[in-house]
Chains A and B, each alone.
Chain A
Amino acid sequence: MLLQQLINGVALGSTYALIALGYTMVYGIITLINFAHGEIFMAGAFVGLLAVAALKLNIFVAMLLAMVVSMAMGVVIELIAYRPLRRSSRLSALISAIGVSIFLSSLALMIFGADAKGFPSGAFPVRQLKIGEAEISSLQLLIIGISALLMIGLEFIVKKTKIGKAMRATSEDYNTAALMGINVNRVISFTFALGSALAAAGGVLVGVLFNAVSFNMGLMAGLKAFAAAVLGGIGSIPGAMLGGLMLGVTEVLGVAAGFSSYRDAIAFAILVLVLLVKPTGLLGRKIQKKV
């Protein structure tokens, strides 16, 4: 029973983690809470759905397509809505991000209508596997597998490639990185592309998991993923993964324990409790106050 809930929790948590990574990377570099990120997740889910339902593509090809489209979206959004505001107050950029988020969700509402759409049956063959007492569906296995693969890929890009090094340098110190000859604008665009691709993958996976894609799916998922990023320590990539998994598992356990009507509050309650004990999140760096 417990094992079963843990498996469900990890599957849900890995999708949170995928979205949380985008929040945390963008925050690490330009200290902006990218509120439009949840909407990119939603857009990714819709592109995936269209590719499967209308273009009859394989689910994996559809996911790749969703990732590419979302990458472009992320880059364009940064260019239009955030880049002009880079030197202004952070609140202005935040409001701009919220504006983008409202714009995108109402655009989706206009195009796709208010009701949730499901993936065509057989988009992904679901089989149940037995592990001792618990059952794990091939879909959950896929979600956990793809998330892990993407996170390893991300870790590789950030740690081992040249652009990854530039990303780390920029998040360490924006101005010095620019002085060292790093093309900061390109690094920021790349970060948005990377984060958006992960969110789109998450969107397709969640769409298949719950078999529902709707215009407002980005809001709550985005807020919870953001909570996950903060829980792990915002700006920290392993922190986002840890935070996402923790939120997913506690949420599923909380629902299993009979608090299903409090479902959306559980994630935030955990977040508040953790922040009260560790004010910069689980793996966040301590902020040194300088005079």
Chain B
Amino acid sequence: MGAFLQDITAGIDPYILQILVNIGIAIILALGLNVITGLTGQLSLGHAAFMSVGAFASALLTIKSGLPFSLNLLLAGSVTALVGALIGYPILRLTGDYLAICTLGFAEIVKVVFLNLEITNKALGLTVPPAKTTIPMPFVVWICAILAIVAISFLQNSRFGRALKAIRDDEIAAESMGINLARYKLSSFALGTFLAGVGGALYAHFLSYINPSDFSFLKSVDILSMIVLGGLGSVPGAVIGASVLAAAPEFLRFMSQYRMLVYGALLVFLMVFRPNGLLGGVNFVDLVLRALGKKPTIPVGTGREGE
């Protein structure tokens, strides 16, 4: 099995493969933040820090123990979720921008702590040995990404997901309907950071080198841009946003030195012309049904176009 998959990955151009893996990891990270910011409406500016917690936890697990990679991933995710919950517990009482700046603050603190810890090799960063698995990394990444897509899609329409959306839309109304705000916010934070941890672990083992400075504020902003660009709270949106922004630097590579300049301008123009994201307000099931002719398009003038 492993050898067969290895043959497949060997057949793909390594450059394309790398872009594909970057997209896969970005999808996992974006979906995680989508749970926290898109579904629950809690703006987090520190997603990259949780990614770094997962990355270092998993790298250390690979170095110090002989666990198979699947267990390693689960553990790294759980450790991150635990850290997320520990940090989230006190700060989720804050609202709006105060919460955002607190997550940003924690992210900076996490980065500086990693830069000063002996076990994470300080500012030199860690070289990560190969993952203990026979399946090639690109496949592992995409299996995780697809699992995450499926899980979050189901979650969105579950009882849990509906509670999260209720909190996003109106906290007071949600609370009066019997939703335990603190518990649901904390679970959503833990779930989002779990995915960040898994994404970080995959990132560490794919690149085989990690440095605390890689997980800076700009990385968090990158992930946030993905979900806002795709359309907040939408799984296809997060997937498309992640794919576009993870691949964009590669496609802009031909203009090497103007790359970030164009990227910044692109963000502004996309927001000005598509303020709700590329897929904001687009209902996929509806679109498919209409395309199949199963559902009539809503006639103009019934006052329901806004839906």
Contact = CB atoms under 8 A, between A and B. Distances in A.
Contacts of B260: 102-103, 105-106, 109
A100 B261 CA distance: 9
Interface in B13-48: 37, 43
Nearest to B122: A261
B214 interface: no
Contacts of B225: 95, 98-99
B266 A99 contact: yes
Interface string B230-262: 001000000000000000000000000111110
B116 interface: yes
B265 interface: yes
Interface in A91-110: 91-96, 98-107, 109-110
A24 to B, nearest CB: 11
Given A33-B100, A101-B264, A92 B275 contact: yes
B95 interface: yes
Which of B97, B172, B221, B266 neighbours the largest number of chain A CB atoms within 10 Å of its CB?
Answer: B97
Interface in B77-98: 90-91, 93-95, 97-98
A106 B109 contact: no
B276 A110 contact: no
B264 A268 contact: no
B108 A265 contact: yes
Given A99-B264, A102-B260, A102-B267, A275 B228 contact: no
A88 B276 contact: yes
Contact of B261 (A96, A107, A264): A107
B101 A102 contact: no
A180 B87 CA distance: 45
A264 B217 contact: no
A272 interface: yes
B235 to A, nearest CB: 17
Interface in A65-120: 80-81, 84-85, 88-89, 91-96, 98-107, 109-110
B93 A88 contact: no
A98 B90 contact: no
B184 interface: no
Contact of B112 (A31, A107, A265, A287): A265
B1 interface: no
Interface string A276-291: 1001110000010101
B124 interface: no
A92 B228 contact: yes
Contact of B116 (A106, A261, A269): A261
How many residues of B sit at the interface, in one of the four size bands?
35 or more
Contacts of A85: 271-272, 275
A35 to B, nearest CB: 8
A89 B276 contact: yes
B271 A96 contact: yes
A81 B268 contact: yes
Interface string A251-264: 00000000001111
B101 A230 contact: yes
Interface stretch (A56-64, A141-149, A156-164, A219-227): A219-227
Contacts of A91: 37, 43, 228, 232
Contacts of B182: none
B104 interface: yes
B272 A84 contact: yes
B272 A81 contact: yes
Contacts of B90: 276
B108 to A, nearest CB: 5
Contacts of B93: 279
A271 B102 contact: yes
Interface in B107-129: 108-109, 112-113, 115-116
A99 B228 CA distance: 12
Nearest to B87: A272
A151 interface: no
Which of B172, B224, B261 neighbours the largest number of chain A CB atoms within 10 Å of its CB?
Answer: B261
Given A230-B101, A272-B106, A262 B268 contact: no
Contacts of B98: 230, 234, 275, 279-281
B47 to A, nearest CB: 14
B265 A103 contact: yes
A269 B105 contact: yes
Contact of B229 (A95, A110, A234, A289): A95
Contacts of A104: 264
A287 B171 CA distance: 14
Given A91-B37, A98-B224, A99-B225, 18 more contacts: A31-B97, A81-B271, A84-B275, A88-B275, A91-B228, A95-B271, A99-B268, A103-B260, A106-B260, A110-B257, A219-B217, A219-B218, A261-B115, A263-B112, A268-B108, A271-B101, A272-B106, A281-B98
Interface of A: 27, 31, 33, 80-81, 84-85, 88-89, 91-96, 98-107, 109-110, 219, 223, 226-227, 230, 234, 261-265, 268-269, 271-272, 275-276, 279-281, 287, 289, 291
Q: Which 8 pairs across A and B sit closest by C-beta, in order of nearness?
A: A99-B267, A103-B264, A102-B264, A268-B105, A88-B275, A106-B260, A265-B112, A99-B268
Interface of B: 37, 43, 90-91, 93-95, 97-98, 100-102, 104-106, 108-109, 112-113, 115-116, 172, 217-218, 221, 224-225, 228-229, 232, 257-261, 263-268, 271-272, 275-277
16 contacts: A33-B100, A91-B232, A92-B276, A101-B264, A102-B267, A103-B260, A106-B260, A106-B261, A261-B112, A265-B112, A268-B105, A271-B101, A272-B106, A275-B91, A275-B94, A289-B172
